[in-house]
């Protein structure tokens, strides 16, 4: 039903397959449409293709970087950021503190390794509601793509939607404004494997 409503509205950004319905979702504090995530992923992919990508900070031990993905589970109610290196998959998640069966299944599909090391990083954020928490997924993915460092603890929530609108309209990956750059990854990480 949502897809029918979406198709009935004119294009907002045709190259990114975004319609005015998607823009309304973005600007009116409602859950972001799936197409917004697809468009954000396209921006990240385009940015990464234009750069030489090797992770260069100690925590990832200079692993060869492979990809940044955003993934939804629980019928698109929640999104996570995946940072994939040649030997480890890092999952940044604001709600889950365990690796669910749904996420394990997805990881087995996207990785060609039968066994991969997974680090689940719980991003314990002050804002953790279903509508706005998913904005953090896009902000985290953009942050990592641009700065190759762990995302900040929190962002300037009041300006996040307008910032994303600007990124989409200009078709550029730009960092979101951070409020607190200090995050303690070590204390929030959980190591596990997918089998």
Residue 82 forms part of a structural domain: yes
Sign of torsion over alpha carbons 91, 95, 98, 102: negative
Residue 187 forms part of a structural domain: no
The DSSP result for 69-124, as a single string, is EEEEETTTTEEEEEEEESSEEEEEESS--S--HHHHHHHHHH-S-SSEEEEEEE--
The residue with greater pLDDT, 139 or 69, is: 139
Residue 64 forms part of a structural domain: yes
pLDDT at 57 over 80: no
Question: For the segment 150-191, what is each residue's pLDDT rounded down to a tens digit?
Answer: 777 778 888 999 999 999 999 999 999 987 655 444 434 455
**What domain range is 154 assigned to?**
1-178
Give the mean pLDDT of 137-162. Answer: 84
Give the mean pLDDT of 102-117. Answer: 71
Give the mean pLDDT of 101-116. Answer: 71
Is this model's pTM higher than 0.85 or not?
no
Closest by CA to 165, choosing from 61, 10, 36, is 36
Query: Beta strand pairing status for 78-85 and 88-93?
Result: antiparallel
């Amino acid at each position: 039903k949502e897809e029918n409503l979406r198709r009935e509205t004119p294009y907002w950004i045709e190259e990114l397959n975004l319609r005015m319905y998607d823009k309304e979702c973005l600007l009116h504090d409602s859950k972001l449409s799936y197409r917004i995530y697809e468009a954000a992923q396209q921006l990240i992919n385009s940015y990464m293709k234009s750069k030489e990508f090797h992770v260069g900070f100690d925590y990832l031990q200079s692993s060869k970087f492979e990809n940044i993905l955003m993934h939804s589970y629980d019928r698109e109610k929640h999104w996570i950021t995946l940072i994939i290196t040649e030997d480890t998959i890092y999952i940044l998640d604001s709600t889950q503190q365990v690796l669910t069966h749904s996420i394990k299944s997805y990881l087995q599909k996207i990785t060609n390794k039968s066994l991969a090391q997974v680090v689940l990083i719980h991003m314990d954020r002050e804002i953790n509601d279903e509508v706005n928490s998913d904005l953090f997924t896009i902000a985290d993915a953009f942050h990592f793509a641009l700065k190759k460092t762990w995302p900040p603890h929190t962002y300037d929530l009041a300006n996040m939607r307008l910032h994303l609108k600007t990124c989409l309209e200009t078709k550029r990956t730009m960092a979101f404004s951070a409020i607190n750059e200090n995050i303690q990854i070590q204390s929030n990480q959980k190591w596990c494997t997918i089998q």
